[in-house]
A and B are shown apart, each in its own frame.
Chain A
Amino acid sequence: MAALQYVTWQLPMTSELFLQYIFAGLTYGIIYAIVAIGFNIIYNTTGIINFAQGEFVMLGGMIAISLNPLMPLPLAIVLAVLITMMVGALIEIVFIRWLDKPSVLRLIIITIGISILIREAALHIWGEGIRSLPYFIGNEVSSVSILGTRISPQVLWVMGVCTVMVILLSLFFRYTLMGQKMQACAANRTAATLCGINTRNMVTLSFMLSAGIGALAGCVMSPITYTQYDGGTGLAIKGFTVAIMGGLGNSMGAVAAGLLLGLLEAFSVSVLPLAFQDAISISILLVILFVRPHGLFGRRDTAALKEF
């Protein structure tokens, strides 16, 4: 490969640099993980991959930015999350709910169509320019010092909010009745229906939930990454990759795979040209997938389920 001629080994690196890569990797990683969890929530109740997941992240950011001049930031974010959840529910009700035993591929193509439509609508509503929320604490140049490296406080916000989301979600699925009902849907839809669970409502709820967490992630990351109408596509691709790597439907797997991809990207910068970053990190993921065809943490039997 042409890339090889650029290889220059610079290791061992200083501990300071090492930490900086770790922080950068964890920031990307946790964002990928949140998007992947969004995929998983919907996958678990419906067996489909919702390719409009990235658009939820973009919508959350965009709506919060539009609301921010009118109200305090926390309120704008809460409202943006709620509105995006409504959009999620609306999508499910209008496009998915009434289909009778749809094939998986059909649903995937529909979600691809929806993602294109949301993106184009965003272009015509908000234009092609970049926007962002203000930093929650400090501004573009402020940083905090941790173990000798400096990072933006917003990075801590992203990591904190996403970690809390992951914990809350796992508590929700484990300990609340609603969460258990949704899990029952995932395990066996027919059986769940027989037990008196309204599986259709559970599907709507899963769309709302994944739209909500996507939107919240979109808000906290907006000051760092900016928000642009087409920012969702790239995230959806990375999120999908991570969801598969972690083993579809396995949220803890998604977190691990997300952090792995983030760290791979960050550390690949030290040895290879940045231009090849995606090519390298995805090649490594593919090799892992070939060795473990059901993902890092997926089980063989669940991977065989829910084919096209």
Chain B
Amino acid sequence: MKKLLGKSLTIVAVLLAAVSFLPPAATAKAETIKIGAILAVTGPASFLGGPEARTLEMLVEEVNAKGGIDGNKVELIIKDSGASPEKAISFAKQLIEEEKVFAIIGPSTSGETMKIKNIAEEGKTILLSCAAAQVIVNPVAKYVFKTPQKDSDAVRKIYGAMKDKGISKIAVLAGNTGFGKAGKGQLTEIAPEYGIEIVEAEVYDSKATDLSAVVSKLMANKAIEAVVNWSIVPAQGILAKNMRQAGWEVPLYQSHGFGNIKYVKAGGAAAEGIIFPAGRLLAPELLEDGHPQKALLIEYTKAYESKYNEPVSTFGGHAYDAFKILSAAISKAGPDPEKARDAIENLKNFPGTGGIFSFSPEDHNGLDIDAFAMWTVKDGQFVPYKQ
């Protein structure tokens, strides 16, 4: 037994010593800009982190092929958090202290972002989150920004459309992810402004494979005039199917998380007529010529779809915006993090996939309600929604 302990200690010693002797991460060459990314490439939020990581890889490749940002080559370090906050925390510290990155893009989920908000702030490192929840930028932290549109604006857009239709009693469904949680909060808070009453509210598991029981329950409540579903998970399609199969014909509104043609395909005939707010990435060719977003949307769509052979999603777009905003700031202010931060804060009328960004010291999101348009599904395609 004693021998065993001795041996085990030798092993610990060797292992830990080996680790300690690893050379510190190679020091960056003067002209290389290191950008860290903490994304949920695997795990329960991989449908966010996957497209985000692929978008960033593509953009960095593109930029470096052109000689970098104003001649500064970009080095991208993607850390896969698997949507675990504890990993995101560890990675954030690693990227800031060890890799000394210029900025961090991500995380993909709001739970992770909230855990590292203070770390980025303490480490004085720019954080461009790809998560939606408004708490990320409220209260404003000096170094923390986010690119997805405000969920409160999405809610206002939906409630506006409902009001036009004369709908006042609704049911709210949300997935049990950070996105669903934030949306449910905003829906509840803003409802009175539009004279809307939430009659029933339910939260389902993000891995739910069937929602027919809860649909039956809601359907039995005859007061309900419309359903709002707030999630980013496959259950968006399942809900639509279960509602239509049960023969429940009230209008179904979804969040901007529905902006992925894959979900429409998965929903098939049941996706027809779903109404939801989203940016303009869904059908850029329908924009009028000369719209500031049109060219970049078409370019991103083409580049991404030809490279990865899968449709673009608004999630990848969030990472696209984060990278483009950062590059714009760097080319404006040079490779100095403090100046780049100030440059982001002063960026105005900057077109991205999510909308036209105008940041200010009070607004670290930079998007307003005009970032959204209302969409619906017709013949398996996204088309602009008209009353």
Contacts and interface: CB of A to CB of B under 8 A. Distances in A.
* In the complex, A touching B (Cβ < 8 A): yes
Contacts of B237: 130, 226
Interface stretch (A35-43, A200-208, A267-275): A267-275
Contact of A226 (B202, B217, B234, B240): B234
Nearest to A154: B245
B362 interface: no
B205 A278 contact: yes
B111 to A, nearest CB: 16
Contact of B213 (A24, A152, A224): A24
Contacts of A152: 241, 245
A130 B238 CA distance: 11
A132 interface: yes
Contact of A24 (B207, B210, B244, B268): B210
Contacts of A51: none
A17 interface: yes
B207 A234 contact: yes
B223 interface: no
B213 A140 contact: no
Nearest to A270: B217
B202 A20 contact: no
Contact of B210 (A131, A139, A225, A267): A225
Contacts of B178: none
B355 interface: no
Nearest to B47: A128
A131 B237 CA distance: 11
Interface string B4-47: 00000000000000000000000000000000000000101011
B149 interface: no
Contacts of B310: 127, 129
A134 B63 CA distance: 41
B216 A21 contact: yes
B202 A274 contact: yes
Contact of A20 (B209, B246, B269): B246
A225 B233 CA distance: 12
Max count, chain B CB within 10 A of own CB: residue among A127, A265, A269, A278: A269
Chain A contact-residue range equals: 35 or more
B214 interface: yes
A273 B218 CA distance: 12
B220 interface: yes
Nearest to A16: B220
B270 interface: yes
B176 interface: yes
Given A226-B234, A226-B237, A128 B46 contact: yes
The 10 closest A-B pairs by CB, nearest first: A225-B209, A128-B46, A20-B216, A140-B268, A140-B270, A275-B203, A24-B213, A141-B244, A266-B213, A130-B234
Interface of B: 42, 44, 46-47, 50, 176, 202-205, 207, 209-210, 212-214, 216-217, 220, 234, 237-238, 240-241, 244-247, 262-263, 266-271, 310
16 contacts: A13-B220, A21-B213, A24-B210, A128-B47, A129-B47, A129-B310, A130-B237, A130-B266, A139-B269, A140-B244, A140-B268, A143-B244, A151-B245, A224-B210, A231-B209, A266-B213
